[in-house]
Structure 1
Amino acid sequence: MGKVTISFEMTLDGAFDQMDQWFDENDPGVQRASDELVFGADAVLLGRESYEFFREYWPKQTDDRGFADHYNALPKYVASKTLNGPLDWNATLIEGDVAEAVRQLRDRYDSIISHGYGGLAATLVDAGLVDEVHAGIHPFMVGNAKDRLRTPHPVGLRLLSLETYESGIIAAKYAPVRR
């Protein structure tokens, strides 16, 4: 059975937006962690907002690591109640029960990654389908952060690893505690 990993970047005060103010994609630690996650993935799960942003962003990107080419080539599965298929950018719309669709994807793929922490992530956590949560915590406070880390119920996490980068970013990996 495949592993599902949720990965996101955030500021110390919990902001996910306004990334142009605080996210440095060229940080060596961020690149190393991103490479490990993405090059080890077989598929990507996205919510509608992430899909719409990423499908505009990633096809235009190039790099000498092969990261963009690999990410663009990965099969993507999009959970949305408002999009209609077929989708572009090597993406398939998940229709019907998202949790059941992800259970089937876990039988098909060894490593599935999901970026962001919106409604899709909350659905996956609630269904017990998340194996790891990777959080990049950046040394910046936006000051008007919106509460975005939401789950339908409290979720305990067990620390798997913790790494700090020269830039002050904290990379924490957790596993949900199953009760």
Structure 2
Amino acid sequence: MRKLIYGINISLDGCCDHTKFSGGNDIHQYFSELLEGADLIIYGRKTYELMVPFWPEVAQTQAMDETANAFAKTFARLKRVLVSRTISSVDDEQTTIIHDNLKEEIIKLKQQPGKAISTGGIELPAQLIEWGLVDEFHILVHPVLVGQGRRLFAEMLLPENQHLKLTASQTLPSGCIALRYEKI
């Protein structure tokens, strides 16, 4: 069965609003390497609209620095699933839309052959975590306190604790700490 991998950037005080801290080459490189092990991305509407068409356009134009361009190329090659009740179509041939039966549809995707499945954002991953469908967590902790903003997992309701095992940690040149946890 394919793994479902959740990746997110957060501040030291738990804020996951990407506008509150800056990215760097090492962050793009980290997530590029993570996505190289995947062939499908699943996003909710908000995260999807942040990522598409921005990164596929960067992949075409190569308008950013070398590391961001490499991330864009990695991102652009992936198939995408948009989970939305309000969007009925998108202008992206690599994207399919799931409107309902989310849990069953994600289980079907996990059962298909292929590389890992990646997800990001807040609301959709929280629901997937509640259902026990997320297998790995890649948390990139930025060395900054922002004091306010959207918090990671603030509204998640777990039926019971989900125990995780730290399987890797890495300090990036920017001072970010990359933590990788797997479900036990």
TM band (smaller chain): 0.7 to 0.9
Question: What RMSD, in angstroms, separates the aligned Cα atoms of the two structures?
Answer: 1.8
Which residue of 99, 103, 123 maps to 1:99? 103
Task: Name the SS of the counterpart of 2:76 in structure 1.
Answer: helix
The residue aligned with 1:53 is: 50
The residue aligned with 1:37 is: 34
The 8 Å contact of residues 13 and 145 in structure 1, kept in 2 or not, is answered as no
Q: Which amino acid in the other structure matches residue 115 of structure 1?
A: G
Q: Which amino acid in the other structure matches residue 107 of structure 1?
A: Q
Q: Which amino acid in the other structure matches residue 158 of structure 1?
A: K
* Cα distance in 1, alignment partners of residues 56 and 139 from structure 2: 25
* Cα distance in 1, alignment partners of residues 123 and 20 from structure 2: 24
* Cα distance in 1, alignment partners of residues 91 and 141 from structure 2: 31
* Cα distance in 2, alignment partners of residues 162 and 107 from structure 1: 29
Question: How many aligned positions are there?
Answer: 172
Task: Name the SS of the counterpart of 2:162 in structure 1.
Answer: coil
Unaligned runs of 5+ in 2: none
* Cα distance in 2, alignment partners of residues 84 and 110 from structure 1: 27
Name the TM-score, length of structure 1 as normaliser: 0.87
1:134 aligns with 2:141: no
How far does the alpha carbon of each residue in 1:4-56 deviate from its partner, in whole angstroms, 9 at most, with x for none? 00000011111121x34422232x2x233212211111100001101111113
The 8 Å contact of residues 32 and 75 in structure 2, kept in 1 or not, is answered as no
Task: Name the SS of the counterpart of 1:100 in structure 2.
Answer: helix
Unaligned runs of 5+ in 1: none
Name the TM-score, length of structure 2 as normaliser: 0.84
Task: Name the SS of the counterpart of 1:42 in structure 2.
Answer: strand
Report % sequence identity: 30
Deviation (angstroms), 1:121: 0.5
How far does the alpha carbon of each residue in 1:123-171 deviate from its partner, in whole angstroms, 9 at most, with x for none? 2112211110000000011111333314211433221111112322110
* Cα distance in 2, alignment partners of residues 43 and 146 from structure 1: 26
Please, which moves more after superposition, 154-163 or 7-16? 154-163
The residue aligned with 2:11 is: 11
The residue aligned with 2:77 is: 73
Deviation (angstroms), 1:59: 2.5
* Cα distance in 2, alignment partners of residues 94 and 123 from structure 1: 14
Task: Name the SS of the counterpart of 1:92 in structure 2.
Answer: strand
How far does the alpha carbon of each residue in 1:101-128 deviate from its partner, in whole angstroms, 9 at most, with x for none? 1111112232100122x22101211221
The residue aligned with 1:112 is: 117
Deviation (angstroms), 1:64: 4.2
* Cα distance in 2, alignment partners of residues 2 and 59 from structure 1: 24
